[in-house]
Chain A
Amino acid sequence: MPHDALPRDGGPVIEVDRLTKRYGGTTAVRQLSFTVRPGHVTGFLGPNGAGKTTTLRMLLGLVEPTSGAATVDGHTVRRYPRGLRHVGALLDAGDVHGGRSARAHLHALARSNRIPARRVDEVLAEVGLAGAPAGRRVGGYSLGMKQRLGIATALLGDPPVLLFDEPLNGLDPEGVLWVRGLFRRLAGEGRTVFVSSHLMSEMENTADELIVIGRGELIAAESLTEFAARGTRPTVTVRTPDAGTLAAALSAEGAAVAPYDGETLKVTGLSSDRIGEIAFEHSVLLRELTTETASLEAAFMELTADSVEYLAGEPR
């Protein structure tokens, strides 16, 4: 096992090895290999239809791979008679029966895995559904509430490995903030947290490791910082009443300066620290100095552009 060399916190590893899934003539996932380590939030990124959900379903033993293997802690999930204490998952918030209450839904799942009933109330409280909402039929829930219920389901078995497929869909800003905090905490506890998304911006403040796929194939597997470095050079937005002076000074330092409006400049090729120093040297007043965070998104778009284009012309 090559992973013994990796820094491990002792928690289980998700291992995907030359995983392939074909549906008739369409290949959803092709020779995909990656490792997800414990103690981190790992983002699973790819455009719509890249094969993220299929991969997660294979990991959970719901979909049988055509070839290759997906294992959790060295075993395929189908080898575990009961799953909730090994892997917790939110695949689709809609994967519930609308006719049941949240409490009954969780109660049945807990019972099937010999998880004490009080754990149901614990996770309901944790996701903010305790009390009256838990007794209501899930069919009447908003998407955000269903996501919370899905997260409660994933947490039910207090598992060391957690999978979340597009968990931020439908959540309000407060919910998004809460979910990010939750993922960080779970990773901080040494768990393996694997979160899929088709939006880079969602991962930016959530993940520290990234697995990027497109058209079912691996594009990148690296840390968020490494990934960001692939992107176009960062752009710095500068707002100043003396745009002309500053633009000249920055250009003299070798930066590419694009005037945005009368007061705002978009600068590439210099760090915000250096721009601040130059402005200080030239006694130029700055009202804003921001490094554009869109560079990650740009890196993602750049990397996946080919696969997106390809997919659009392909029948699914």
Chain B
Amino acid sequence: MTASTTALPLPTARFTDLLAAEWIKLRSLRSIHWALGAGALGIIAFNTNAARADYVNFPHYGRVVRTHFLSWALRDAFTQGAAMMLVLAASSIGAISIVGEYTTGLVRTTFAAVPDRRALMTAKVVVVAAVMTVYGAFTAGASFVLTQAVLDGRGQGVSIGHPGALRVVVASALLAPVCALAGLGLGALIRHSATTTVFNVFVLLFLPTFVTDRYHWTACVRNALPFNAWYRLVDVEYGHQPFTLTPRYQTTVTGGWIVFGAWALAAAVVAVVAVDRRDV
């Protein structure tokens, strides 16, 4: 026996080690850099272009539009198209972080190194959520600054201190971690890349437009989806502006935040529990 194999005191298993390891894993994949970088550029460009279009068209807008331009300005701060891109990017990153382990077989190496799978998956959840929150904050913040700077050219830009402006930025930023966790949870359940992508797109992007708000129960389903929750949260003049119809079954801002929180929590629990007992 050499000294190396005698029972040296083993270091205590610390959760922070798992966080650090998951962070190394996330940042050491070049594909993730590309996906995040291209996604951020696309999102910011998309929003800025919407502001540019309003800037160009502003002289042709009628009086009603001009008096209610606040909702226009804040809609440009984070457009629906950009939100869809963010949902796609975030849910893909979340899914990749676990499905990538299963499809490559790395999951066996990972679980052999860390038999405490629940701790490992919790670390993954925390790291993915943290990284995507920063990512969402960056894209939403940059979009807000750029779009309002463009609209300032018409004297219509809004400051972050304006009522509702901060909510638009925060809700758009948090859409990223919510969808990333949803992707992670679905990925942990499904474990196959193509199927996970299809389900992600179906649940996070397709269902929100597909489900009608005509009946009470379908409206409930619709309102419980993250994309619709986001849409409610960024609609600062909900029910007060003349351009859109007020839905029969109304939702509240608080309801929107609750939907965000519930999805994040449920997805995190699924991700942690789903992998614990299954053979790899």
Interface residues of A (CB under 8 A from B): 9-11, 57, 60-64, 77-85, 87, 89, 91-92, 94-101, 104-105, 107-109, 111-114, 137, 153, 158, 160, 189-191
Contact = CB atoms under 8 A, between A and B. Distances in A.
B104 A83 contact: no
Contacts of A81: 13, 114-116, 119
B93 to A, nearest CB: 14
Interface string B108-139: 11111111100110000000000000000000
- Identify the 8 closest CB pairs spanning chains A and B, nearest first: A112-B21, A104-B28, A81-B13, A190-B1, A95-B105, A108-B24, A81-B116, A111-B21
A61 B279 CA distance: 9
A79 B10 CA distance: 14
12 contacts: A62-B280, A81-B13, A82-B115, A85-B10, A92-B105, A94-B105, A95-B107, A101-B28, A111-B17, A112-B120, A158-B4, A190-B1
A114 B14 contact: yes
Interface residues of B, number: 40
B20 to A, nearest CB: 5
B112 A62 contact: yes
Contacts of B100: 97
A83 B1 contact: no
Interface of B: 1-2, 4-6, 10-11, 13-14, 17-18, 20-22, 24-25, 28-31, 100-101, 104-116, 119-120, 277, 279-280
A128 to B, nearest CB: 20
Which of A61, A77, A79, A95 has the most chain B CB atoms closer than 10 A to its own CB? A95
A28 to B, nearest CB: 11
B5 A190 contact: yes
Contact of B106 (A97, A107, A114): A97
Contact of A61 (B10, B101, B115): B115
A98 B28 CA distance: 11
A192 to B, nearest CB: 9
A82 B113 contact: yes
Contacts of B115: 61, 77-83
A113 B112 CA distance: 11
Contacts of A114: 11, 13-14, 17
Contact of B279 (A62, A97, A137): A62
A112 B112 contact: no
Contacts of A84: 112-113
A267 B5 CA distance: 47
B108 A95 contact: yes
Contacts of A191: 5
Contacts of A91: 108-109, 112
Nearest to A158: B4
Given A96-B104, A189-B1, A190-B1, A83 B113 contact: yes
A95 B17 contact: no
Which of A80, A105, A108, A190 has the most chain B CB atoms closer than 10 A to its own CB? A108
B116 A82 contact: yes
Nearest to A76: B115
Nearest to B103: A97
A100 B112 contact: no
A111 B104 contact: no
A14 to B, nearest CB: 14
